[in-house]
């Protein structure tokens, strides 16, 4: 068996959509699973669709995801260059070879002539007119014109393209690992342009030539390329490379959460969640589309979620690290039907990964947010805050939003709690409680709780009578982790000070 070599071959026409990331991921997992190699090839033959910054964005996104390449535009490799525009010179001889062997032809038709043909065919009742075995005989191409006429046109510098010459009524069969046998009749295909008048190959020719030259063993790509696969098979045959046709696997679409159609780039933030791995700023309009990275997702969670969009390991396990995914991944377990994107599940994955992180790791992330908010705190303190908050958080940022009170005294008090729980005798009770707290010498959660509970007992009060107002005084909010733990962390001095401030500020009966 020849070694496994796969490629991810994006076109730099804009930001990489999560569907594209999943294609890269499946290629990566398949390569690792089979001790093979993965290549990053940039398919930039369509200069009209080139978008500035798209390539840089791509590299940054894949890096963030932890999808690393053995050969690429960054690291090079034995089969480079890996950017098709830099391979430009290489494709023409193959197009010429096809012309010489009778599998392709020059076509000089102008846009006007092409339009005329389409109009004529439409009038004759053809719904989708094509340049094919029926129409090509009426056009300006080297099948119709004499050798001299063709040469004269070329000498005059008339623009021309090279088209593949498809046979009439022939079945093209291809086996897809995910879909099984796919059979298409050439009568339903057209004579696609394989070489353009600007001197560049089209996607089809460049893709096949490069897959061959780069010794690609498996082509794993999105379902939208399935209709092109029969043409690619024919190109392999006509170029004399039949023995080297790679194995194909066309991945199912990623659908919108309601199952209504493909999740597209344009869905952007419209559906309430990002469709890009990393934030994208449109270089022309300046519009910003949100990314998973900037929204606080951990790359491990994002990758785990993506892996499960169209694949599962066949058991109940849902949390798999990149290494475990590499071990378990098989193309045979990729489904045929579209995979619905589930945003709640995406959040769930992040929550699981966040919980699994050590307090130290989380504290490092939280410190970044704290610094941005001009808060200085000791690492050990932040670690303990993380310990208390991580079970309640989906993102690191949630710990900051929910736990601001660990770092600064509240500026406002939850009105609902006050309206419901702040009674005329509350100030007296809190004042007394404060005095008891002041007497605690060994200030820890256990002792604070003991003092608090014995005070309740003494006054014959329920928890619900005093705990919520104590909480609101210390934190400003109505809910949170154990209040005794919070009090311990902020310390005795701050606990007392915060009760005093609350007593000053919350005065409902003046
Ligand atoms: N350049 C194509 C794309 O942008 C690659 C298709 C393929 O993998 O063959 O998706």
| 229, pLDDT greater than 60 | yes
| Ligand 1 binding pocket includes 10 (Cβ within 6 Å) | yes
133-178 per-position pLDDT tens digit: 999 999 999 999 999 999 999 999 999 999 999 999 999 999 999 9
| 324, pLDDT greater than 70 | yes
| Ligand 1 binding pocket includes 225 (Cβ within 6 Å) | yes
| Ligand 1 binding pocket includes 9 (Cβ within 6 Å) | yes
- With beta carbons less than 8 A apart as the criterion, state whether 107 and 139 touch: yes
454-509 per-position pLDDT tens digit: 999 999 999 999 999 999 999 999 999 999 999 999 999 999 999 999 999 987 64
What average pLDDT does the segment 233-245 reach? Answer: 98
Which atom of ligand 1 lies nearest, measured to the CA of 7?
8
| Ligand 1 binding pocket includes 46 (Cβ within 6 Å) | no
Res 510: pLDDT: 46
Listed range (95-104, 182-191, 208-217, 277-286) with the worst mean pLDDT: 277-286
Query: Nearest C-alpha to atom 2 of ligand 1 is from which residue?
Result: 10
> 330 vs 3, 327, 503, CA distance in Å?
16, 9, 64
Report residue 327 as tokens: 């071990």
Mutate to test the pocket of ligand 1, among 20, 26, 203 (most ligand atoms within 8 A of CB): 203
Res 49: pLDDT: 85
Res 269: pLDDT: 74
Report residue 364 as tokens: 């490092």
Rounded distance from Cα 283 to ligand 1 centre (Å): 23
| Ligand 1 binding pocket includes 32 (Cβ within 6 Å) | no
pLDDT above 90 covers a percentage of the chain that reads 93
265 is known as an active-site residue: yes
271 falls in which pLDDT band (50, 70, 90)?
confident
> 407 vs 192, 375, 494, CA distance in Å?
65, 7, 10
- With beta carbons less than 8 A apart as the criterion, state whether 22 and 300 touch: no
What average pLDDT does the segment 17-34 reach? Answer: 97
Report residue 128 as tokens: 């989708």
What average pLDDT does the segment 185-200 reach? Answer: 96
Rounded distance from Cα 92 to ligand 1 centre (Å): 20
| 88, pLDDT greater than 80 | yes
SS3 248: strand
Res 264: pLDDT: 87
Strands, E assignment, 242-382? 247-251, 254-255, 280-281, 288-289, 339-340
DSSP type of residue 246: P
| Ligand 1 binding pocket includes 23 (Cβ within 6 Å) | no
| 112, pLDDT greater than 80 | yes
| 268, pLDDT greater than 70 | no
Rounded distance from Cα 150 to ligand 1 centre (Å): 33
What gap in Å lies between CA 205 and CA 324, rounded to an integer?
37
Which atom of ligand 1 lies nearest, measured to the CA of 221?
8
| 224, pLDDT greater than 80 | yes
Which atom of ligand 1 lies nearest, measured to the CA of 23?
8
333 falls in which pLDDT band (50, 70, 90)?
very high
Report residue 93 as tokens: 């001889």
**Which one is catalytic: 165, 196, 265, 404?**
265
Mutate to test the pocket of ligand 1, among 8, 30, 204, 207 (most ligand atoms within 8 A of CB): 207
Rounded distance from Cα 40 to ligand 1 centre (Å): 11
| Ligand 1 binding pocket includes 83 (Cβ within 6 Å) | no
Q: Is the peptide bond before 17 cis (omega within 30 degrees of 0)?
A: no
391-425 per-position pLDDT tens digit: 999 999 999 999 999 999 999 999 999 999 999 99
Query: Nearest C-alpha to atom 3 of ligand 1 is from which residue?
Result: 10
Rounded distance from Cα 10 to ligand 1 centre (Å): 5
> With left for phi above 0 and alpha for psi between -120 and 50, is residue 19 left, alpha or beta?
alpha
Average pLDDT, the chain: 95
Res 508: pLDDT: 64
Rounded distance from Cα 276 to ligand 1 centre (Å): 18
Res 1: pLDDT: 67
What average pLDDT does the segment 307-336 reach? Answer: 95
51-61 per-position pLDDT tens digit: 889 999 999 99
What average pLDDT does the segment 197-221 reach? Answer: 97
Rounded distance from Cα 113 to ligand 1 centre (Å): 30
* Closest by Cα among 284, 283, 282 to 268: 282
| Ligand 1 binding pocket includes 17 (Cβ within 6 Å) | no
Estimate to the nearest angstrom the gap between the alpha carbon of 347 and the chain centroid: 14
Query: Nearest C-alpha to atom 10 of ligand 1 is from which residue?
Result: 10
User: Cα dihedral sign for 243, 244, 247, 251?
Assistant: negative
Which atom of ligand 1 lies nearest, measured to the CA of 211?
9
Rounded distance from Cα 221 to ligand 1 centre (Å): 7
The secondary structure of 165-206, three-state, reads CCCCCCEEEEEECCCEEEEEEHHHCCCCEEECCCCCECHHHH
């Amino acid at each position: 068996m020849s070694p496994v070599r796969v490629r991810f071959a994006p076109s730099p026409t804009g930001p990489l959509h999560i569907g594209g990331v999943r294609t890269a991921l499946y290629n990566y997992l398949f390569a690792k699973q089979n001790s093979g190699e993965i290549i990053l090839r940039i398919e930039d033959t369509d200069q009209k669709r080139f978008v500035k910054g798209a390539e840089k964005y791509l590299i940054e996104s894949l890096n963030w995801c932890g999808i690393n390449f053995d050969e690429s535009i960054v690291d090079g490799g034995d089969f480079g260059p890996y950017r098709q525009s830099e391979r430009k010179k290489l494709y023409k001889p193959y197009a010429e070879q096809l012309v010489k062997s009778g599998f392709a032809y020059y076509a000089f038709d102008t846009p006007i002539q092409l339009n005329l043909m389409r109009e004529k065919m439409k009038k004759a009742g053809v719904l989708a007119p094509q340049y094919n075995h029926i129409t090509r005989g009426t056009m300006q191409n080297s099948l119709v014109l004499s050798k001299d006429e063709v040469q004269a046109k070329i000498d005059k510098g008339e623009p021309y393209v090279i088209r593949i010459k498809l046979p009439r009524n022939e079945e093209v069969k291809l086996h897809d690992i995910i879909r099984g046998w796919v059979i298409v009749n050439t009568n339903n295909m057209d004579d696609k342009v394989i070489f353009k008048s600007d001197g560049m190959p089209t996607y089809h020719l460049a893709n096949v030539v490069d897959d061959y030259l780069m010794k690609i063993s498996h082509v794993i790509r999105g379902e939208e390329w399935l209709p092109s696969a029969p043409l690619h098979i024919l190109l392999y045959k006509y170029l004399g490379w039949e023995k080297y046709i790679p194995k194909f696997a066309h991945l199912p679409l990623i659908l919108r959460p309601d199952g209504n159609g493909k999740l597209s780039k344009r869905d952007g933030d419209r559906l309430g969640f990002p469709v890009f791995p990393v934030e994208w700023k449109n270089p022309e309009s300046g519009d910003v589309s949100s990314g998973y990275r900037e929204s606080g997702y951990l790359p491990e969670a994002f990758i785990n979620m993506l892996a499960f969009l169209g694949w599962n390991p066949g058991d109940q396990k849902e949390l798999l690290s990149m290494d475990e995914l590499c071990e378990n991944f098989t193309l045979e377990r990729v489904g045929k039907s579209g995979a619905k994107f589930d945003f709640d599940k995406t959040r769930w994955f992040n929550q699981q990964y966040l919980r699994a992180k050590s307090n130290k790791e989380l504290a490092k992330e939280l410190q970044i947010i704290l610094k941005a908010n001009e808060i200085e705190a000791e690492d050990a303190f932040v670690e303990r805050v993380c310990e208390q908050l991580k079970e309640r958080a989906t993102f690191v940022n949630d710990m900051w939003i929910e736990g601001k009170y660990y770092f600064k005294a509240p500026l406002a008090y939850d009105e609902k709690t006050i309206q419901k729980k702040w009674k005329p005798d509350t100030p007296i009770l809190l004042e007394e409680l404060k005095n008891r707290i002041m007497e605690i010498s060994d200030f820890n959660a256990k002792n604070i709780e003991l003092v608090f509970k014995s005070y309740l007992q003494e006054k014959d009060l329920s928890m619900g009578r005093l705990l919520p107002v104590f909480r609101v005084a210390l934190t400003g909010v109505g809910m949170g982790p154990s209040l005794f733990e919070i009090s311990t962390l902020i310390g005795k001095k701050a606990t007392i000070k915060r009760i005093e401030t609350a007593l000053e500020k919350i005065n409902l009966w003046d």
